[in-house]
Amino acid sequence: MMNRPAILATATLCAVGVLSWSAAATAAQKVEKDYPNKPIRVIVPSPAGGPPDLVMRMLLPYYSQSLGQALVLDNRAGAGGVVGSATVAKGTPDGYTWLVTTASHTNTPPFSKNSPFDPVKDFSHISLLAQNFGQAVVVPTNSAAKSVPELIAMAKAKPGKMNYASAGIGTASHIPAEVMKSMAGVDIVGVQYKGVPEGMTDLIAGRMDVMFVGTQIALPLMQSNRLRVIALTGAKRWKGMPDVPTMQELGFKGYDLINWFGFWLPPGASPALQQRLHAETVKALAVPEVLKQFDVLGLEAVGSTPENFIKFVTEQSRFMNELARKVDAAAK
């Protein structure tokens, strides 16, 4: 999740090691000439059908067409995205292993005692792909809670008896729930699933009381009357759900949490490779069909430079560390 800090202005890249400008130029030419010459593995640390999986499937054919190689999705779910991300953090920075994931990249480590990776230092940053208008607060269609105030009232009447589903500690389905609990002073028990789809299955069946999910997942389920959307976590309403209020409108002052999607390589990728893949990303994000699909699902394409993206991730990491301390203090 993020609280919409400004994406900082681009800074000049520092010199890398003792490479001269001519050596860097030669490296760039080699990347342009030889890369890629075999299929690319894209690790998505969530189950098929989860938010980052959906986003990457929209972009995949355009990357593949432009690069002239097959891109193979590798869904490695578990531990709120940690399993897949940790695999990439230990990978070879040759451009044949990608990571595409959500804000859980910066959210999970502060909420984990022993995170196996640093979200800033252990990756090569390519681009911020997209962001949404906030998570949808969803409840079963047969829930007695037809609004967030009613949900809070129910939780206060039955402390510790209600449950919310999440895709793991630090994910975009966990953070906003914990912030809501802290601000409202209620005790709703978090139940962690391997991914969003598994949690949604139990929510729709009425085995969970509430969940926070991306609008791209909530919208079709709301339209088919399989769940009820009672609020959005962003600061402004979304045209796809014009009648759904924001948490701020419902009295949660300053509540502004949205999800975002990013693209990384293992640490140590050359600047030339990073710039090449950033250029490919900008191209894919400009495809009219992609923009149309994003708009329908409540996503905004971004395509930030590697320099801006690393600054963005650094800022998000700082914010989430501070938020984790506040949530932990409130729980004690």
Biggest CA-to-CA distance, the chain: 69
12 contacts: CB under 8 Å, gap ≥ 6: none
215 contacts: CB under 8 Å, gap ≥ 6: 132, 133, 134, 135, 136, 232, 238, 240, 241, 297, 298
> Is the CATH number of domain 34-132+258-331 3.40.960.10?
no
106-118: average pLDDT: 85
Average of per-residue pLDDT values in the chain: 87
- Is the pLDDT at 19 greater than 60? The verdict is no
| CATH 3.40.190.150 location in the chain | 34-132+258-331
Query: What is the reported pLDDT for 298?
Result: 86
Instruction: Convert 94-111 to b/e letters by CB count within 10 Å (16 or more is b).
Output: bbbbbbbbbbbbbbbbbb
CATH architecture of the domain formed by 135-232? 3-Layer(aba) Sandwich (3.40)
Contact 75, 46 (CB under 8 A): yes
Instruction: Convert 1-33 to b/e letters by CB count within 10 Å (16 or more is b).
Output: bbbeeebeeeeeeeeeeeeeeeeeeeebeebee
> How many Å is the Cα radius of gyration of the chain?
20
Q: How confident is the model at residue 329 (pLDDT cuts 50, 70, 90)?
A: low
149-156: average pLDDT: 98
Whole-number Å distance between alpha carbons of 97 and 90: 10
3-21: average pLDDT: 32
User: For the ranges 98-107, 112-121, 226-235, 277-286, which has the lowest average pLDDT?
Assistant: 112-121
Q: Which residue has the tokens 């009219």?
A: 288
13-30: average pLDDT: 38
Q: Which residue has the tokens 């919310």?
A: 164
Q: Is 285 left (phi over 0), alpha (psi -120 to 50) or beta?
A: alpha
| CATH 3.40.190.10 location in the chain | 135-232
What is the pTM for the complete model shown? Answer: 0.75
Q: How confident is the model at residue 31 (pLDDT cuts 50, 70, 90)?
A: low
Contact 119, 88 (CB under 8 A): no
Query: What is the reported pLDDT for 107?
Result: 86
* pLDDT tens digit sequence for 160-213: 999 999 988 778 898 899 999 999 999 999 999 988 889 999 999 999 999 999
Q: How confident is the model at residue 20 (pLDDT cuts 50, 70, 90)?
A: very low
